[in-house]
Amino acid sequence: MPASRETPEQFRQVIDINLNGSYWMAQACGKVMRPGSSIINISSVLGLKPAGLPQAAYAASKAGLIGLTRDLAQQWTGRKGIRVNAIAPGFFESEMSGQYQPGYLEAMSTRILTGQPGDPRHLAATLVWLASDAASYVTGQTIVVDGGVTLT
């Protein structure tokens, strides 16, 4: 929604779900997780770079989630042994992408350097790696899974 038409309530609702919800869930998990545990937040490439869509609230919430990820990692990795990272998916078919204007996803596909749309398996593989011991030296990072969209 264009920022000039978005109401304060609409903006707050997006922030409440995407940013505040992630914060409260991380806080609850951080109280009971054991050392060696991992929290993985789901941000978006829209938190890093605009994509021609009028989504100020969504972009702000996802950028805020990246900052939250870094701060929680700084607080909890050394003290509690809990790693905190995020992934930033690019454009994948989803419930949200069904709301885009007709032709938008096709137009975005020309910006995907790998030449293929995102597949949920790409995200799953990244999530499994971040949660595993193979990523035990990774914390406070946002891993972009976008086929190179943020490079264009």
Q: Which of 87, 105, 63 is nearest to 142 (CA)?
A: 87
Q: How far apart are CA 101 and CA 108, in angstroms?
A: 12
Q: How far apart are CA 94 and CA 73, in angstroms?
A: 29
The 10s digit of each residue's pLDDT in 78-96 is 999 999 999 999 987 666 6
In the β-sheet with 38-42, what is the strand arrangement from edge to edge?
A: 38-42, 83-89, 142-145
| Cβ atoms of residues 92 and 117 within 8 Å | yes
Q: Which of 65, 99, 67, 87 is nearest to 138 (CA)?
A: 87
Residue 42 zone, left/alpha/beta (φ > 0; ψ -120 to 50; rest): beta
Is 104 an active-site residue? no
- pTM, whole model, 2 decimals? 0.90
- Domains annotated for the chain, with CATH where assigned, are 8-151 (3.40.50.720)
Which of 23, 58, 100, 137 is flagged as catalytic?
58
Whether residue 33 has pLDDT greater than 70:
yes
pLDDT at res. 32: 97
Q: How far apart are CA 61 and CA 131, in angstroms?
A: 23
Q: How far apart are CA 84 and CA 37, in angstroms?
A: 9
The 10s digit of each residue's pLDDT in 105-146 is 667 777 889 887 788 899 999 999 999 999 999 999 999 999
